[in-house]
Amino acid sequence: MPKTVLIVEDDENIAELLMLYLEKEGYATITAGDGGTAMQYYRERKPDLILLDLMLPVMDGREVCRNIRESGDTATPIIMLTAKGETLDKVSGLKMGADDYITKPFEMKEVLARVEAVLRRAAPGEGAPRRLTFDKLVIDMDAFELIVDGKRVDTPPKEMELLYHLASTPNRVYTRNQLLDEVWGFDYFGDSRTVDVHIKRLREKLEGVSDQWSVKTGRGVGHRFEVLS
């Protein structure tokens, strides 16, 4: 069955353009022109991915994203659509649980690449088990679970992928551009600070849990998952 994308956009021309291109690539689509309708369709149709505009009538994109994540759903990928220059909105969207953002005006090839990459990264693992275990930490990509000190911690797909990628090669330093390319899965078109936002959110979940490992950042160098021998 084709993957279903919920397009939440109050500009009818943009919504129709997204719908046409996505359906041409084999996706099923649902469109909503306001946040309230988006929440209704989300509950009824359970889309595989949500393209979510920030500025919406009835309920804005931030509130829609927050409601979805607070409902306990950390698995459905959300890509925010933001106007150029809305840096604070981008950061706040990521903090609320969005997996990525696209800045308007956008190229459709960028949208398609991001949709494909996010869905690929969010898909259950195939083949060999993808599970890493450290002191008081389990990163299980097959179950899409992060267990911290014996407790399951709700974590969006992109954070899971980023942590798994870092922890798969302990003590290796990755630059922002390397992480954007290898975790996001394509040449990134946006702000490299996206990585920093996700790293900060991971630190908030993991800080002080163990003295045997930590997520480290070298100023001007990059990020690493440090494990003490």
> Hey, what domains does the chain have and what are their CATH numbers?
4-122 (3.40.50.2300), 131-227 (1.10.10.10)
**Over residues 45-66, mean pLDDT:** 93
pTM above 0.85, yes or no: no
3-state secondary structure of 49: strand
Q: Average pLDDT of 96-123?
A: 82
Instruction: Give per-residue pLDDT as tens, 160-208.
Output: 889 999 999 999 999 988 888 788 765 455 566 788 899 999 999 999 9
Write down the mean pLDDT value for the chain: 86
% of the chain with per-residue pLDDT over 70:
89
Pure H helices in the chain? 12-24, 35-45, 61-70, 87-95, 108-122, 157-168, 176-183, 193-206
The pLDDT score that the predictor gives to residue 124 is: 57
Asked if residues 173 and 104 have their Cβ atoms less than 8 Å apart, the reply is no
Tens-digit pLDDT profile for residues 81-101: 987 555 566 666 677 788 888
Sheet containing 151-153, strands listed edge to edge, beginning at the edge strand earlier in sequence: 131-134, 137-140, 145-148, 151-153
Average pLDDT over residues 141-147: 83
More confident residue, 180 or 40: 40
pLDDT average, residue stretch 213-226: 89
* pLDDT at site 83: 78
Residues composing the chain: 229
Q: Which pLDDT does position 129 carry in this prediction?
A: 62
Q: Which residues have C-beta within 8 Å of that of residue 38, sequence separation ≥ 6?
A: 6, 8, 32, 50, 52, 56, 59, 64
